[in-house]
Amino acid sequence: MILKALFNFLIFPGFLFMVLFGLFLTWIDRKVTARIQWRKGPPIYQPYADALKLLLKETLVPNGAPKFLFLFSPLLGLVGVIIAGVILLSSQFSFTGDLIVIIYLFALPPIAIIIGGSSSKNPLSAVGASREMTLYFGYELPFLLALLVPVIKSGSIKISQILLYQENFGPILYSLSGVLAFIIALFSVQAKLGFVPFDIPEAEQEIMAGPLLEYSGVSLLFFKLMRAALLFLLPIFLIILFWGGIKTPWVILKFLFILVLLILLKNTNPRLRIDQALKFFWIILGLLGVVAVILAFNRL
């Protein structure tokens, strides 16, 4: 029993699988980006070479930074994502918990970035951390409103009940409120991944790498792996909640569709300012979310 749990957390569908597959997805991201810019793009082993190099490099801690917090925060983010992933991927079979656990676990990566950025003792990292905090408050409100739609429709906060509802009455996406909620959730996922219109915390041209500025070697690798695992998990999360679960083979096409949509959004948009992003999330998407929730109450 313990062995099985360990296997689940460390190998499949836990750490090893999620990280290796997530790195492959970052290769897809880079390759599609390259093709959009009429380039050839990196070879398929590129993300693995990056990971291996970071693993074997020196890890530096800035002078005067709190060592424990600085090195602990990347681990916190990665572990949060892995636990969320194990719960989500086994939700089809055994897990009977509810959505709130997942929401809290998905809050861990931004918290890790905020702690890491603030403990870096670098002014640019501090600016990045404060932007990450603002952005998190921005996208979390419409994201929660969007998640309310499947909850209202299925009448339960349990993931297994939501999946059961979709098996009986068809995916939640195929309704008016479902479409609205899906679009809102898609934008929030874009911001959760730190992709371009919302990469404000890491804005390369202004504050270099933001909260990740002082990280090197293994600690930087952990943040990269966290991002890679999120790139795998968040589309899966959307499919489970809105598009009928991950049991059928169609899930591969659905997954690729969401992934390529995210990458296209990333490559065709300029970065927003932090106040513009906040207005976009709270006013436009927030109002849309309220409309979606009202529609869901009226069974539309």
Residues in contact with another protein by CB under 8 A are: 30, 34, 37-43, 45-46, 49-50, 52-60, 204, 208-209, 212-217, 220
Q: Whose Cβ is closer to another protein: residue 39's or residue 273's?
A: 39
Q: What is the DSSP string of 28-80?
A: HHHHHHHHHTT-----TTHHHHHHHHHHTS-----TTS-HHHHHHHHHHHHHH
Q: Which is nearer to another protein, 49 or 287 (CB)?
A: 49
CB of 41 to another protein, least distance (A): 6
- Minimum distance, C-beta of residue 128 to another protein, in the bound complex (Å): 11
Smallest separation, CB 216 to another protein (Å): 4
Coil, strand, or helix at residue 98?
A: strand
Residue 207 CB coordination number (10 Å)? 20
Q: What does 120-159 look like in DSSP terms, one character per residue?
A: T--HHHHHHHHHHHHHHHHHHHHHHHHHHHHHHHHT-SBH
**With respect to another protein, which residue has the nearer C-beta, 36 or 179?**
36
CB of 200 to another protein, least distance (A): 15
Query: Which residue number, 125 or 154, has a Cβ lying nearer to another protein?
Result: 125
What is the closest distance, in whole angstroms, from the C-beta atom of residue 40 to another protein in the complex? Answer: 5
Q: Would you say 72 or 95 has its CB closer to another protein?
A: 72
8 A C-beta contact, residue 132 and residue 223: no
Closest alpha carbon to 16 in 192, 216, 229, 221: 229
What's the closest the beta carbon of residue 292 comes to another protein, in angstroms? 38
- How many angstroms separate the Cα of 260 from the Cα of each of 23, 33, 101, 209? 15, 10, 28, 24
Intra-chain end-to-end CA distance of the chain, in Å: 44
Residues 6 or more apart whose Cβ sits within 8 Å of residue 56: none
**CB-wise, 52 or 283, nearer to another protein?**
52
